[in-house]
A = this chain, B = another copy of it.
Amino acid sequence: MQVYQAPLRDMRFALRELHGDDGFGDAAVLAEFDDETVDAVLEEAARLNTEVLLPLNRTGDEEGCRIENGVVRTPEGFKAAYDQFREGGWCALASDPKWGGQGLPEQVNKLIEEMICASNVSFSLYPGLTHGATTALDGHGSEELKQAYMPKLVSGEWSGTMCLTEAHCGTDLGLLRTRAVLQGDGSYRLTGNKIFISAGEHDLTDNIVHLVLARTPDAPKGVKGISLFLVPKYVPNADGSLGNLNGVTCGNIEHKMGMKASATCQMIFEESVGWLIGEPNKGMAAMFTMMNTERVSVGIQGLGVGEAAYQSAVYYAKDRVQGRSLSGVKAPDKPADPIIVHPDVRRMLMTMRAYLEGCRAVGVWVSRALDAETSSPDPEVRKRATDFVALMTPVVKALFTDLGYDAANLAVQVYGGHGYIRESGVEQYVRDARIAMIYEGTNGIQALDLVGRKMPAGMGRNLRAFFHPVSQFIEDNAAAEGPLAPMIGALGQAFGALQLSTATIAQKGLADPEEAGAAATDYLRLLGLVAMAYCFAKAAKVSAAKLAEGSGEAAFYKAKIATAAFFFDRILPDATARFLAIKAGKASIMALDEAAF
């Protein structure tokens, strides 16, 4: 059974209690949103998600999207839910008030994104892609284009897409072939085929605005000859009303493993009118503006789906009776004990819990930096926030989606045979979560971005934005006592392994970039584990202090310490394995002749 209530208490913990010392907390944007307002927004979002989006999750999966004569129909109930979502102002939540947005801080907005992804990740793509498109348009578009499109995109009246991939090129966009030819009036005509376009065509909005990567006839080869264009489905008239169809059609929708309520479209552009966004041949830069935001959001998808899977597994583990506790009967009134009594079931639930609380803590830390980056009054803080976001974006994307997928799989395991049956709802989480490890750059590409770009940039400047607070915290708590003491010890050891790995990769990678490539995935995971370990140790420290103060929420803080202890006992040991794998180098990865495969 699909069960979900937004974990508001843990969200508030990550938002207000955990990261007070990170230096990102004085962003101007926060001043406009006091705790009471934020709580009201979070609670209202929680209600909307559980009541409106969650009930459409499984029905949407069963029904899927359909295409008839180029018209794409979303599942029953999606249009009404979208209207309610839009009318409630949820589309405009995090956007600039200049365009009608509400300017909600990212650290709050990302928590609401988590709720939406937990309730209905297929639905999340419709407003989600629009948000990506407005980010790129706002950052790089001309004032004229912005005036014409931003208000309706921000409100959700129109939706947006990102048209990057073609059948022969995904990761390697330099190969793309869609052509854009300049017209006398300054517009372009675009012709080409795109695939895997989320929300490329659907019935939720009156107009769809495509952001399309294409090449002009005289453009340099490869990624240096790619430009970004805005191509609306209907070209708006001067008065804002919709004009003619613009030669943009949906050739087909994909039959996918999951995310079935999200229309993944093959889009055909035939002499479609478009306008350049930003400079010619600088499309990749504009695209990355949008892509980086999206990468953090895709990480949040992993967290959200994982959380829903976790809650659904907890529900079942308390409800399903099977066998008796090894330490004596727990439910004498029932024919058997609920399976949550069994240590191996607990292990699975605690693993999920540790993954999700750990990711949420790291996610809020990064989101606070997103806010500081754009609105801290202190240029030093802005700089440090930018470095930190740059470093952590690939980590959030890959780590959260990997662990969210693992959590979904553990949920199925808790359900046993019933989890394999579609009616249970949990196998859907596995199918839905699988794509997040792939799109917006596969997790392997995230790892290469981390070791190849983010790590070496500015002689390790990005890394310092992460290493410094962690080493400071270890130093400050070297004399810790009680449950924190072993956590600091283990954190110190894992951090040491991370530092050594960093030096190894930097050194070997200089002489041979394949060495960095061979280490990339394990290094990203190692860094992610250290980030979670740091957050858990801080959480345990904060919680211990609250308990010492005699907090009225003892159960919450005790559970937080217990979950942290579990993380250090059972999850962090993987850091040692990753360190050993990195140390082994590329030799045995590259040894086999291609013909031997």
Q: Which residues of A contact B (CB under 8 A)?
A: 165, 169-172, 175, 196, 254-258, 314, 317-318, 321-323, 326-327, 335-336, 338, 340-350, 353, 409, 412-413, 416-423, 427, 430-431, 434-435, 437-439, 442-444, 447-448, 512-514, 517-518, 520-521, 555, 558-559, 562-563, 565-566, 568-570, 573-574, 576-578, 580-581, 584-597
Contacts and interface: CB of A to CB of B under 8 A. Distances in A.
Nearest to A167: B418
Given A170-B416, A323-B172, A434-B412, A584 B596 contact: no
A196 B424 CA distance: 14
From DSSP, what is the main secondary structure of chain A's interface residues?
helix
A169 B521 contact: no
Given A589-B566, A594-B340, A255 B346 contact: no
A435 to B, nearest CB: 5
Q: Lowest 9 A-B CB distances belong to which pairs?
A: A569-B584, A343-B517, A573-B580, A257-B427, A573-B577, A562-B591, A566-B588, A343-B518, A344-B444
A277 B439 CA distance: 54
Contacts of A597: 314, 317-318, 340, 349, 353
Nearest to A338: B594
Given A346-B589, A417-B170, A570-B581, A326 B434 contact: no
Contacts of A418: 170
A521 B347 contact: yes
A363 to B, nearest CB: 21
Contacts of A342: 444, 517
Contacts of A317: 597
Contact of A430 (B257, B576, B594): B257
A413 to B, nearest CB: 7
Contact of A318 (B172, B442, B518, B594): B594
Chain multiplicity (copies): 2
Contacts of A589: 343, 346-347, 350, 566, 569-570
B570 A350 contact: no
Nearest to A452: B326
A123 B515 CA distance: 43
Contacts of A434: 409, 412, 420, 427, 430
A211 B127 CA distance: 53
Most B C-beta atoms less than 10 A away, residue of A350, A422, A589: A589
Most B C-beta atoms less than 10 A away, residue of A342, A438, A442, A569: A569
Nearest to A337: B172
A505 B341 CA distance: 19
A172 B558 CA distance: 33
A556 to B, nearest CB: 8
A341 B518 CA distance: 11
A257 B326 contact: no
Most B C-beta atoms less than 10 A away, residue of A322, A344, A413: A344
Contact of A574 (B431, B437, B577): B577
Given A419-B438, A438-B420, A517-B326, A569 B594 contact: no
A568 B335 CA distance: 47
Nearest to A578: B573
23 contacts: A170-B322, A171-B322, A172-B322, A172-B323, A255-B423, A256-B427, A257-B420, A257-B427, A326-B514, A342-B444, A343-B586, A343-B590, A344-B518, A345-B444, A349-B597, A412-B438, A413-B444, A416-B442, A427-B434, A555-B595, A569-B581, A570-B589, A573-B581
